[in-house]
Structure 1
Amino acid sequence: MDGLDSCDRVLVPTDRNDDVIALDHAVEIARRCDAEVCILSVVNPYEMSSVTERTDAESRAEEVVAAAAERARDAGVDAEARVETGTPSKRILAVGDETDADVVAMGTHGRRGTTRYVVGSVAEKVVRHSPVPVLTVRIGAPGELPYRDVVVPTDGSEANDPAEAWGVSVAAAFDADVHALSVVEPSRLPGRSDEEGRDAAEAAVEEVLGRAERAGVAAAGAVTRGTTHEEILSYCKETGGDIVVMGTHGRSGLKHALIGSVAEKVIRLSDVPVLTVPMQKASSDGDGA
């Protein structure tokens, strides 16, 4: 899959009535590419102390997904509602596979009500292991729709190609502008100068600008120096970015090289949604978790 232009299905995990902001983003994305949404609630039986408690939880979940599906349909998007039981992150990934979901959209806090819920939790596990892009929307900092400015961080590596393609495709679908950013961190490598790093960063930005031009999307770029996640967040505020589209692999090529560092920090701290894009689907390399 090359980007949003070939998206047919968006999976929206949710577990509460007030967790609708991710749904709003999913519905808007689905409308733009004539896709459908699948709204999923997973009841974790391992947290239940009785059959009655589990039955009540399943009943509440049915109500949540039914209301969410109706909300999507009212917006003109086809919607399916599902309730599953099991370990939430595993079931989300399994249902994504079963339904051939092209994107997963989810909020980054849940029942525990903590703004750091994404860290070490369901959302983090889904981001780490999903073979398809995951849109995380921090509840309490939902950003705005429709997207008008799409921030695309890049390091110029081949591993980042899918994220760049997705960033441009999101901008094309929303008639938005692309803002490409490459960050030069102070070099810790012997014999490597900051000037070399800047040359590579400028080339990376030019590659994104070229992609945008070929897609007929307006774009601008910048190279900054500093700590990568801080520069991404700062650039997003400076440009009025509505969404960040970034990869989960870095120049090192190590699997999930950025998760636990740059991408995780951006997800935690961003006031706008973050779409994390894996290098490739797990089915193509046999190593998806």
Structure 2
Amino acid sequence: MSRLIERLLIPTDASDGALSGARHGIALASRTGADVHVLSVVEVGHGPSEYDDDLLSSLEAQADEAVDAVAELARAHDEKLEVTTAVRRGVPFQSIREYANRREIDVIAMGTKGRTGIDRILLGSVTENVLRTARTPVLAVPPNADAPALEDVAFERFLLPTDGSDGAEIAAEWGIALADRLGSTVHALSALDPSPFSALGEEDEVPEALEHRGEAAVASVRERASEVGVDATGSIESGSPTDVVLASAADRDVDLIVMGTHGRTGVGQWFLGSVTENVVRQADVPVFCVPVSAESP
């Protein structure tokens, strides 16, 4: 049987934020049978380097230590894991994206916060740039989502926001496939945001149309989950999409939010790339972000 995830990439700079991402990435790789790639990027621009050779050598030595630490953590957790390490020079998010493309990476797991200052290798903004440009899903892990030990990393309860768009549909496919593999439960969520219609003077009719669309989107996710034996519930809630997703995640004590990076556009929009970015910035749990260009799992 083919593996759900064959190759998982963990970018690191040895910061606490990056290590939080690494722990979740290792746990996910171990439980899905994926090979682990660990990458550290020494940041240099397109032009002449701002660093002299001695400083670059020192930064590369730190990067080597960073990838070795994650590799040792992975092997100590699961001796069956195949681990590959690499250090690159370049613009961090571009180097991460290029490595992922060349190595046919299936999932990128990274922290949302990294180092700051002159010795930075990985920044929070790097994660956002990877989210905007990656062709594969990105597991974005906030620092406060860290677990005391790898064994404590949980993937038991998933939240799947949906609006029925292509972006939400591919995200739901990934969420259900992961839940099936990991023995997780899922909760499908549709947010009703009537604010775009307030200027149209159709406060009564438009929310009803939104509700019907939300019901259909949630029902679709639940039906697909049921087909593969995944326990799924669903709800429709009113309010700002970002606020609704964050509140539902907290109320339901979920371990993972799975959502697309792009959804509906136009006057009926509720689920946009900006919503995903806002959720990633504010969530207390990891967010598994799926681009519409991602292949089905």
What TM-score do the two structures reach when normalised by structure 2?
0.86
1:159 deviation in Å?
A: 2.9
Which segments of 5 or more consecutive residues in structure 2 lack a partner in the other structure?
none
Indicate yes or no: 2:185 matched with 1:186.
no
Residue number in structure 2 paired with 1:219: 232
| CA distance in 2: counterparts of 1:17 and 1:195, whole angstroms | 48
Q: 1:99 aligns with which of 97, 103, 114?
A: 103
| CA distance in 2: counterparts of 1:5 and 1:223, whole angstroms | 33
Q: Is the 8 A contact 2:167 2:290 kept in 1?
A: no
Q: Secondary structure at the match of 1:181?
A: strand
Q: Tell me the alpha carbon deviations over residues 229-256 of structure 1, each in whole angstroms, 9 at most, x when there is no partner.
A: 1000000011111110000111128xxx
Q: Is the 8 A contact 1:187 1:193 kept in 2?
A: no
* Matched positions, count: 271
Q: 1:74 aligns with which of 73, 76, 90?
A: 76
Q: Which amino acid aligns with 1:147?
A: F
1:65 deviation in Å?
A: 0.5
Indicate yes or no: 2:29 matched with 1:30.
yes
Q: Tell me the alpha carbon deviations over residues 79-117 of structure 1, each in whole angstroms, 9 at most, x when there is no partner.
A: 111000111111000000111100001011111189xx5
Deviating 4+ runs (over 6 angstroms) = none
| CA distance in 2: counterparts of 1:6 and 1:218, whole angstroms | 19
Residue number in structure 2 paired with 1:134: 138
Which segments of 5 or more consecutive residues in structure 1 lack a partner in the other structure?
283-289
| CA distance in 2: counterparts of 1:97 and 1:252, whole angstroms | 28
Q: 1:171 aligns with which of 167, 174, 179?
A: 179
Residue number in structure 1 paired with 2:52: 50
Residue number in structure 2 paired with 1:239: 252
Instruction: Within 5 Å, give how 1:1-20 maps onto structure 2.
Output: 6-16=4-14, 18=16, 19-20=18-19
Q: Is the 8 A contact 2:142 2:284 kept in 1?
A: yes
| CA distance in 1: counterparts of 2:140 and 2:190, whole angstroms | 22
Instruction: Within 5 Å, give how 1:108-123 maps onto structure 2.
Output: 108-112=112-116, 118=124, 121-123=125-127
Q: Is the 8 A contact 1:48 1:54 kept in 2?
A: no
Whose radius of gyration is greater, 1 or 2? 2
Q: Secondary structure at the match of 2:136?
A: coil
Question: Identity of paired residues, percent?
Answer: 36
Q: Secondary structure at the match of 1:140?
A: helix
Residue number in structure 2 paired with 1:149: 157
Q: Secondary structure at the match of 2:145?
A: coil
| CA distance in 2: counterparts of 1:141 and 1:134, whole angstroms | 16
